[in-house]
Structure 1
Amino acid sequence: MSTAVRVNTHAYAATHVATGLINSLRKIVKSSGLDPARLTGQWTVLEAGIAAWLESQHLRALVMEIYDPRLGYGDDLVGRFDFTIDYGYYPNGDGDLWLDPETVHYTVRKAGSFPSQCDYRFIATTSAGRPDVPGWSTTNLRSTNGFARNDVGTAIGGGSLGAGLSYYTRTAS
């Protein structure tokens, strides 16, 4: 006779990845020379949305746009970081929860710093049917025309859930 036990680790993985995403955003903000006060003021709303949509598996990506408010909308993007969510990252994994801070540090070094007048915002791209979360609204991403996407690899993992990281840099004209 054999006995098998299976534990649903999705809730633990979702909490771990949500915490890792927010902490990684904090590191990106601080290391890029941006004002962390804006992030501090949004922390609770970010946490609620990210956690809810990871748990419901509606979160597709978490995007940080960095823009220059002195320029016109559409021409104001100066940088961008994307955390792309993979719900089948390690489907037969053993439930390990991990975060690679070096991936975030490497990405920030490659992307460079941003002028002090720059501002930033966070956008969650979600699939249809996502639950509403107070403090979140709909918006459109700024155009990445003239930018190149650079994929770095997976920065956060938890069970079958992973978050890949990429950054955008302006291409030579």
Structure 2
Amino acid sequence: MEDKVYNVLFLCTGNSARSVMAEALVTTMGQGRFRGFSAGSHPTGAVNPLALEQIATTGYPLEQLRSKSWDEFGQAGAPVMDFIFTVCDNAAGEVCPHWPGHPMSAHWGSEDPAAFVGTADQRRAVFQKVFRQIRARMSIFVSLPLHMLEKNAIQHEVAAIGRTAV
């Protein structure tokens, strides 16, 4: 399984800032082990320019980023996710689509920088702070040993066996 690339989907309501930053960070920091995706329950249709400013520092191709609905990832032919993380409290509480492949999920909430109201410098500072928080979480996540990722996937499947009607 050393060659496996893990697909990771980050969900937020608007898919304009936190989830998009997380997509870029997991892909760049994962050094080929992880492929990031992002989506929203109610996408704004545009990536926040201050999020793009932060992402530009990673070298991630900005032209690949767009604000999109999470419905895209529940459809036939969509990439099968290994992990799904909600990055805002609103998305964590919403009823999500069915995800093929039974990915592991967790909530990694953080402040919404796009909702902050203030001067341009204050807004930029909030985006920088949230970007650093996401980067710190990503650093831990992408450092997990591959055998731990597989163990967790197996644990998930074993738990699913226990829920099977006999």
- TM-score by structure 1 length? 0.29
Larger radius of gyration: 1
If each structure's strand is expressed as a fraction of its own residues, which one has the higher value? 1
If each structure's helix is expressed as a fraction of its own residues, which one has the higher value? 2
**Greater relative contact order (CA < 8 Å, ≥ 6 in sequence):** 1
- TM-score by structure 2 length? 0.30
